[in-house]
Amino acid sequence: MKKYSIFLIFIFSCNSNADRTKAFVPESSGNLNHVTVVMAEKDWKSSLGNTVRDSMGIIYEGLPLDEPQYSLRYMNPVTFKGFARQNRNVIWFRKDSISRFQLAKNYFARPQILALITGEDRENQAFFFEENISLLRRTIAENERKEKLRRINKSLSTENNIKQRFGIRLKYPSAYKTVKDTANFIWIQKPIQKGHLNLVVYTLPENSIDGAFNKKILNIRDSIGKLYIPGRLPGSYLITERAFRPYFFKASLDGKEGYLTKGTWEVANDFMAGPFVNYMINDSVQKRIIVIEGFAFAPSVSKRDYMFELNTILSTFELGD
């Protein structure tokens, strides 16, 4: 295959003289974590379509059952016009003598990410797509996080117990209500159709996870669950599911270093389980570790979008003024 240089072109306007404003483009539409793929039907059914499905269908980490990070919607170029162009995330393949990869922001709608891949044949288009897939996924992920935050900000909770107790800020919707507030533990919950979403915040001494941090993180979660998060039955409480190995990452929030853990929780002495995401953040000024965690109980339904909401809320963490 003849290889060409890769062009990364960020387009922010419909002409070179003026930025696109809200007056020029309509509001985008579409469910969160959905991506529209525009290409010829014969290409969608070919190896090029398989490449796109494999690359964009990566697994959302930390769920009990595998779910794709993005749901793909195929669209024929003939129908890609009018309202269809207002989808928030679009990957558009077009045949052209010039092979390239382009990223456009807010081109047909706002907010919107449009990836345009051109080439003289499927092989060239697949090459440019695969060479830039990491950039594309990061860009769409950030676009979706910002869109979720925009929706959260429409109805923010006015509760301030987390700030008063721990000196931190989290932005979460008003549908979340505090269900437990003790000296060093706050539990906030939002009911959903078949369960509930949960946020917990507490602190630890600064050296609590020194050494074998992975084992200590899980043991701490279990001890906190036993103290503060009971199950439905007497003697039942939240613990970490050990059969499904959790993911551990180094992470930072608000410029503070720490650890991110994703895994599955269960209830000791009961039959309840679900995914969780846990941050342990070092606060060297106050010599403590701040723990913020989200976990979902949503049996028999997809959990990706619920965990996406919790992850987005945790990303708003701010320490101090």
Residue type, position 121, single letter: D
For 131-174, the pLDDT digits (tens) are 999 999 999 999 999 999 999 999 999 999 999 999 999 999 99
Residue the block writes with tokens 């992920």: 141
CB 293 within 8 A of CB 199: yes
Measured in whole angstroms, the distance separating CA 220 from the mean position of its chain's CA atoms is 25
Asked whether the predicted pLDDT for residue 238 surpasses 60, the reply is yes
Beta strand 100-105 pairing with 8-11: parallel
Neighbours of 177 (CB within 10 A): 11
Asked whether the predicted pLDDT for residue 66 surpasses 80, the reply is yes
Residue among 194, 216, 215 nearest 205 (CA): 216
Beta strand 113-119 pairing with 89-95: parallel
Average pLDDT of the residues of the chain: 91
Q: Which two tokens stand for residue 168?
A: 């931190």
Residue among 115, 110, 112 nearest 134 (CA): 115
pTM: 0.90
Domain 8-152: which CATH class? alpha beta
pLDDT of residue 277: 97
Residues of the chain with CATH 3.40.1000.10: 156-319
pLDDT confidence bin for 12, thresholds 50/70/90 = very low
Selected residue with higher pLDDT from 62 and 191: 191
Domain 156-319: which CATH class? alpha beta
Q: Which helix (H) or strand (E) holds 202?
A: strand 195-205
Asked whether the predicted pLDDT for residue 208 surpasses 80, the reply is yes
pLDDT of residue 4: 43
Q: How much of the chain is helix, strand and coil, in % rounded to 5? A: 25, 35, 35
Beta strand 71-75 pairing with 34-38: parallel
Length reported for the chain: 321
Q: How far apart are CA 240 and CA 58, in angstroms?
A: 25
pLDDT of residue 85: 96
For 19-59, the pLDDT digits (tens) are 444 457 899 999 999 999 999 999 999 999 999 999 999 99
Asked whether the predicted pLDDT for residue 10 surpasses 90, the reply is no
Residue among 133, 161, 30 nearest 83 (CA): 30
Q: Which two tokens stand for residue 219?
A: 């043991």
Helix axes 304-314, 133-153, angle to 10 degrees: 80
Lowest mean pLDDT among 164-173, 205-214, 217-226, 291-300: 205-214
pLDDT of residue 136: 97
Percentage of residues of the chain with pLDDT beyond 90: 84
Task: Work out the end-to-end distance of the chain between its first and last CA atoms, rounded to an integer number of angstroms.
Answer: 56
pLDDT of residue 221: 96
Residues of the chain with CATH 3.30.379: 8-152
pLDDT of residue 245: 84
For 83-112, the pLDDT digits (tens) are 999 999 999 999 999 999 999 999 999 999
Q: Which two tokens stand for residue 263?
A: 């895994």
CB 134 within 8 A of CB 110: no
Q: What is the mean pLDDT of residues 107-131?
A: 96
